[in-house]
Structure 1
């Protein structure tokens, strides 16, 4: 260590002497390179200033008292700066570690979402989910069984970050383990509620709407656990109706009964499920109204379902100056024939 300091001392002395005599740009460039070496050797700012003072005192005899005093003041200032700088570097390293952990969690979230294509001639399906930050509190799910029946869900974890990702993992695998209840939304939510209540912290809750579509009867059955109401579009009357349901959020108490509702879908009818990030967006300080959402959906209803959700998202994102204040999830299930 002493050899390193001595070598640095000699190098800096030669550099300073060269610059004072020639004012060379080359020396300034070398000084920049030397500063990088100092950082690599973990030299603190006060050590760098102390090095300069020692070298300068040796090179210039009989320094004015004011110059010596100014060096002492500068050194004291740099001691405080150095402590703050080291704390900053420590926080920066910790932030990088946290960012790395969040990236892993975000990838885990992405892996939990379904990516399979829906192969039903009678059904047009589209979904988009965009997090407001690196990680999302929203979760969506869809699955098609061997008989063509389709289950869909949109959930919102009241909580963010890694705990939310872990909750989503629990939800996914719990639903996967209940295949016999996929056509019974109320029963599925009741089973999920018992799982959630046993396995998440008291300050975390989950809202969810779950629905199942029967392609033979063209009926859509659904139930909600305190989730944002969706919409039903009637193609014959060109009107939207809210899917108002009652139900306690998941995880409050183990014994909850959920009411199940049903809709009959005619060709062109569709169901809209969403998260509150869609309806609680703001533009110019005011909330976007639910009526604004249905107007946008009607504007693009002639498009395939996936294009509808994409276009609605783009318009709402633009209305909010491309700054989402909450996670955004929008799902449309439409009967074709």
Structure 2
């Protein structure tokens, strides 16, 4: 084949030009395999990529009469000619395949038989073997020669560069799509938060959520029901991204629709649970604390569905009440009952509703902020209005966790009774 070297070099240069003008991985691989057969004048060719976990070779794209039969097959580490090349990083020419001790057998069950082959490693930009390129059965009963190796290796080097470039391109596209999805989910989530928090003669209110990632699973709402009643809602949806945002949308819509109904808080919560079990994927669930505050009588009606208990701090006595009455998390079991409870708030009382991102915030020593630190802030916070109290707690959590990654969303609702 030495006499055909100029034409084969021409084929190589043409193939390199074609694969370098393509970025879609499927197109790049197809061009590589067609060129491998042509350059080596072979009946068949195979591109096998190395699985980094199992170290198996996966026949990613074969060509030839048995391509459909062997596509996707896995070759154990070090087995066969391809496994030998991948494990040693060395090229190989074999012209009596069936009598070679490294022969792994014909992978196809058809009449196609391997007579001879040339196999070279594929290396990434760091020099690591990522797969092998193989040409099988030179046409017209020809044989492969050692002087075929430099040409085929040169093509394999160019092919490996094109594959890596294409994979990076695909990764960048996927990252861009994910960022767009997260941005959309973030816009959805922010749209759920109350645009304006109502003001009352006897009560000040404040709320805030800051997600750990671009979009999180926390949800809060402050919803005036009528002139004297206001609903305060904090929830934590399992998961993040668009799926969590869509569950938030369903919960928000269901709760807001039911708030002015004649149904009791327990009935509304049970109906919400049935909806989540019916309409959300297995494994998705929600914790929820929601309440209705009568801003004239200061009566608080609440239920807690598997959520962190809210706290009521009384500066007059220094006592802290824990609001935990309710039931389990929502979205797991369909036929659950939920209870509600009532509490009269007194002048000066501070109500704090939150998600676990507050008490589970970690510092650089991996210590959690915890309930004790939160409770220790209440006497000072109770001297402020609701917005001031929220900002005080937020500053303290941020100071505690400064420099450490935030692993979970954090949400607060604060109600301060004047007087």
TM-score band (shorter)? 0.7 to 0.9
Q: Distance in 2 between matches of 1:43 and 1:99?
A: 21
Answer whether contact 2:199 2:205 (CA < 8 A) is retained.
Answer: no
Answer whether contact 2:221 2:232 (CA < 8 A) is retained.
Answer: yes
Q: Structure 1 239/105 Cα, relative in aligned 2: closer, same or farther at 3 Å?
A: same
Cα deviation code 1:196-232 (max 9, x no counterpart): 2221112101110110111232111111111111111
Q: Distance in 2 between matches of 1:189 and 1:222?
A: 11
* Residue 193 (structure 1) shift: 1.3
Q: Distance in 2 between matches of 1:154 and 1:183?
A: 20
* Residue 146 (structure 1) shift: 2.6
Aligned residue for 2:258? 178
Q: Distance in 1 between matches of 2:410 and 2:252?
A: 19
SS in 1 for 2:236: strand
Aligned residue for 1:334? 416
Q: Structure 1 125/97 Cα, relative in aligned 2: closer, same or farther at 3 Å?
A: same
Query: How many residues align structurally?
Result: 279
Is 1:288 the equivalent of 2:393? no
Extract unaligned runs of 5+ from structure 2.
1-12, 14-19, 29-148
Extract unaligned runs of 5+ from structure 1.
1-8, 10-39, 47-68
Choose 1 or 2 for highest CA Rg: 2
Q: 2:174 aligns with which of 81, 88, 94?
A: 94
Structure with the larger helix share = 1
Is 1:216 the equivalent of 2:293? no
Answer whether contact 1:182 1:212 (CA < 8 A) is retained.
Answer: no
Aligned residue for 2:124? none
Residues 1-337 of structure 1: pairs in structure 2 closer than 5 A: 76-181=156-261, 184-283=264-363, 284-322=365-403, 323-337=405-419
SS in 2 for 1:210: strand
Cα deviation code 1:203-262 (max 9, x no counterpart): 101110110111232111111111111111112112322223341111122222112111
Q: Structure 1 94/188 Cα, relative in aligned 2: closer, same or farther at 3 Å?
A: same
Of 103-112 and 245-254, more deviation after overlay is shown by: 245-254
Structure with the larger strand share = 2
SS in 1 for 2:260: helix
* RMSD of equivalent CA atoms: 2.8
Cα deviation code 1:171-193 (max 9, x no counterpart): 11101211335894323212211
**Higher RCO, Cα 8 Å, sep 6+:** 1
Answer whether contact 1:128 1:330 (CA < 8 A) is retained.
Answer: yes
Q: Distance in 1 between matches of 2:312 and 2:249?
A: 29
SS in 2 for 1:287: coil
Q: Distance in 1 between matches of 2:178 and 2:281?
A: 22
Q: Distance in 1 between matches of 2:211 and 2:167?
A: 32
Q: Structure 1 114/43 Cα, relative in aligned 2: closer, same or farther at 3 Å?
A: closer
